Amino acid sequence: MQKKTIISAALAVASLAGIALAGSGKTVVVPNPTQPVAQPKVESRFSGTVQAGYKSNYDCRGIVASHSLVEGDSVIPVALDMSYSIAEKEALLFGISYDVLTSGHHLYGMDGASFHNEADIYAAYQQKDMGLKNLTATVGWNLNYGGLLGNYAKYGKDKAHSVTQEFFLNLNYDIGDHFFAGVTTSYGFQGVTGWWFQPYVGHKATLCERTDIVTTLGMSATASYFNSENWLGNANGSQAFFVKAELPTKLTENLSVVPFVSLNWLGNGSLKANKGVEDGSKPYKNFGVVAGANIVYNF
């Protein structure tokens, strides 16, 4: 009897609650425990790329080193680049890269003069639409060990370690119709001091659903960077001119292969170094072709 009374009371309370809610015009939806409520996707603030590949010649800012300078040609590059979004149009950038020379590490074959593998580390701040729509500004710091810049430092006037440091500013503007233009300005404050400029223009087009083609024309030039006591005899002014074509192709959603080729010509400043070598062993190639490919993973 008592059990029936309790059940009847519970049913009555439930009935009154239903009438009250019906009168309020509200609908009560009871979640089905077998169908969990979907949670909104939370996008990570971190993103980046990991890449590794091959290129046929060692080059630095458009300058292609000769076989006599580095006792070899081909290079295996690896790199990690990361971005941390701090706002809708602002990010912090970090990266490290390493170029492995596949043969000899001596300048002109001399045992007492080393041409090291090249390592680079950078950190930067980036802002999009910087005062102008489609203008991206990136300002940061770069440390270089080894490679051509490291040898400028080690065997130059100050006989320093194979390390250079610099601050840099890159301005990149998307012009429209798939064209872009920009310039990177660097100021070296350790190893070699002075200015290095790298202006460029380019175009990006879609060849098919998975493949683009990116063509870039650029140059590099220095001011107060070289002097008469530099070990390679470079002069300030134009250092190199180049045109580069890339074919980034998606293999999967996150994996791509990027074949590339660049044609490189020396500027007046670097040509002076070639003319100043008495034994005919040019440090740079007057004209050099650099070809290769990278495998790139996006995360």
Summarised one tens digit per residue, pLDDT across range 34-57 is 455 555 555 689 999 999 999 999
Closest CA to 70 of 82, 83, 56, 87: 56
Q: Determine contact, residues 200/221, Cβ cutoff 8 Å.
A: no
End-to-end CA distance of the chain: 67
Residue range 130-158: mean pLDDT, rounded: 90
pLDDT for residue 20: 39
The CB density around residue 275, as the number of other CB atoms within 10 Å, is: 8
Lowest mean pLDDT, pick from 6-20, 38-52, 156-170, 279-293: 6-20
Q: CA-to-CA distance for 116 and 152, rounded, in angstroms?
A: 12
Question: According to the model, what pLDDT value does residue 175 have?
Answer: 93
pLDDT for position 109: 65
Percentage of residues in the chain having pLDDT higher than 90 = 66
CA-to-CA separations, 104 to 118, 169, 222, in angstroms, rounded? 13, 34, 28
CB atoms within 10 A of CB 247: 15
Kindly state the average pLDDT of the residues 238-257: 97
Q: Are 124 and 137 in contact (CB under 8 A)?
A: no
Tell me, what's the pLDDT at 255?
A: 97
What span, in angstroms and rounded, lies between the C-alpha atoms of 88 and 126?
11
Q: Residue 271 in 3-state DSSP?
A: helix
Please give the pLDDT value at position 227: 80
Average pLDDT over residues 1-11: 44
Q: Which residue type is seen at 237?
A: G
Query: Is residue 174 exposed (0-12), middle (13-18) or buried (19+ Cβ within 10 Å)?
Result: middle
Q: For residue 223, which amino acid is it?
A: A
Residue 186's SS3 state is strand
Q: Which helix (H) or strand (E) holds 15?
A: helix 2-24
| Token code pair at residue 271 | 């040509």
pLDDT at 262 over 90: yes
Can you read off the two tokens belonging to residue 50?
Answer: 């990991």
At 23, the pLDDT band (50, 70, 90 cuts) reads very low
Residue with more model confidence, 240 or 108: 240
Q: CA-based angle 68:70:71, to the nearest 5?
A: 65
**Confidence band (pLDDT; 50, 70, 90) for 230?**
low
Higher pLDDT, 102 or 138: 138
The reported pLDDT for the residue numbered 131 is 83
Residue 153's DSSP bridge partners are: none
pLDDT, residue 70, reads: 84
Helix (H, G, I), strand (E, B) or coil at 181: strand
Does 133 or 109 have the greater pLDDT score? 133
Mean pLDDT of the chain: 85
Q: Are 85 and 42 in contact (CB under 8 A)?
A: no
pTM: 0.81
User: Are 77 and 58 within 8 A, CB to CB?
Assistant: no
Q: Report which of residues 273 and 25 the model is more confident about.
A: 273
Max mean pLDDT among 127-131, 167-171, 280-284 falls in: 167-171
Q: Using alpha carbons only, what angle is made at residue 124 by residues 184 and 290, rounded to the nearest 5 degrees?
A: 45
Name the strand (E) or helix (H) holding 219.
strand 212-223
Q: What is the mean pLDDT of residues 93-101?
A: 97
Which element (helix H / strand E) includes 90? strand 90-101
Locus of tokens 């200015």: 195
Half-sphere exposure of 135 (CA within 13 A, CB side): 8
Question: Per-residue pLDDT for 22 more than 90?
Answer: no
- Predicted confidence (pLDDT) at residue 278 exceeds the cutoff of 90: no
